Amino acid sequence: MADGLRRARRFGTQFGMRRLLILGLLLSTTGLAFASPMRKPKRGFQMKVGHFDVGPSQDLEVCEYRRLPNRRKMLVQAFETRMPPGSHHFVIWSYNGSLPGPEGFPAGPVPSVGCTGLTADDVFPSVVIPLQTPNARFQFPRGIALEIEPHAQVWLNPHMKNPTEAALTPAVKFNFYAAKPGTVEHVAHALIIGTTNFQIPAGGDATVTAEWTAPVNLNLLQLVTHEHRLGTTANIEIVEIDGVTK
């Protein structure tokens, strides 16, 4: 958490030939992978990702176009997800194009990395909520919330790994929890910074750095790194206006 950022934030990531499997995948003998129970919120709503299958030994990331069910603008104070153990991540991305849908969008979950390139008028959607563990709850500090528009157009993006020899049908659901009326003083936004401009030499390692300069003073709530199968280490550095690196 930092205040008064004006210089670049540097993101360094190392990639190598080692494959990282941080979490194992728990499968049922029926080929169905169920998330742990989660009640619907009293203030807010619950949704489920549509049906998709993960083949034997498959690493699969899918995206599904949906509209959120809230009829009015909503201030989200917390978000929670349930996925089978071993799932890699779940992200909600915002569609920012002009298509009203559902025409022009894929029907149901389709294979996609980060929901990129699924529509011609919004090749790189913007992140709404990213979570990196199967059963996770993210809650904003008191007085802070995320704002979502009525029936917002979004992409649901679960990433699964199936290490078994049987097909898997995962169950993925999530809750949006609305803030109590009159409690929100500040609206938060999510931001992803990275680079795709790198190569890994055969049998070797590579280190890449992405930089971003804050255009205004910012209050940071949380900073996290995220990597996929070839990542080995990652770190975030904050460079203050006086050149001091944290």
**In the prediction, which pLDDT does 14 show?**
43
Q: What percent of the chain has pLDDT over 90?
A: 49
DSSP 232: E
Average pLDDT, the chain: 82
Q: Highest-confidence range of 28-42, 81-95, 186-200, 207-221, by mean pLDDT?
A: 81-95
Residue 34: the pLDDT is 55
Spatial distance between the Cα atoms of 93 and 163, rounded to a whole number of angstroms: 27
Nearest to 54 by CA among 167, 157, 173: 167
Band of pLDDT at residue 140, cut at 50, 70 and 90: very high
Taking the C-alpha atoms of residue 78 and residue 46, their distance in angstroms, rounded to an integer, is 12
Q: Which residue has the higher pLDDT, 54 or 31?
A: 54
- 3-state class (DSSP) for residue 183: coil
Highest mean pLDDT among 85-94, 95-104, 163-172 belongs to 95-104
Tokens of 196: 């795709």
Question: Is residue 150 reached through a cis peptide bond, with omega within 30 degrees of 0 on the bond before it?
Answer: no
* Residue 149: per-residue pLDDT: 97
pLDDT of 190 strictly over 70: yes
Q: State how far the Cα of 2 lies from the Cα of 173, in Å rounded to an integer.
A: 33
Rounded mean pLDDT, 135-155: 94
| Confidence band of 169 (pLDDT split at 50, 70, 90) | very high
Q: What is the mean pLDDT of residues 75-95?
A: 91
Q: How far is CA 226 from the centre of its chain?
A: 9
DSSP-H helix ranges across the chain: none
Q: Report the Cα 158 to chain-centroid distance in Å.
A: 8
The letter for the amino acid at 48 is K
Q: What is the pTM of this model?
A: 0.79
Q: How far apart are CA 26 and CA 179, in angstroms?
A: 34
Assign 244 to helix, strand or coil: coil
Query: Percentage of the chain surpassing pLDDT 70?
Result: 84
* 35: DSSP letter: P
C-alpha separations of 91 from 61, 72, 74, 128, 131 in Å? 11, 22, 19, 8, 6
Q: What pLDDT score was predicted for residue 27? A: 28
At residue 66, does pLDDT exceed 90?
yes
Q: Tell whether the model's pLDDT for residue 32 goes beyond 70.
A: no
End-to-end CA distance of the chain: 11
Closest to 171 (Cα-Cα) out of 19, 14, 50: 50
Q: What is the mean pLDDT of residues 66-79?
A: 96
SS3 of residue 162 by DSSP: coil
Tokens of 153: 């157009």
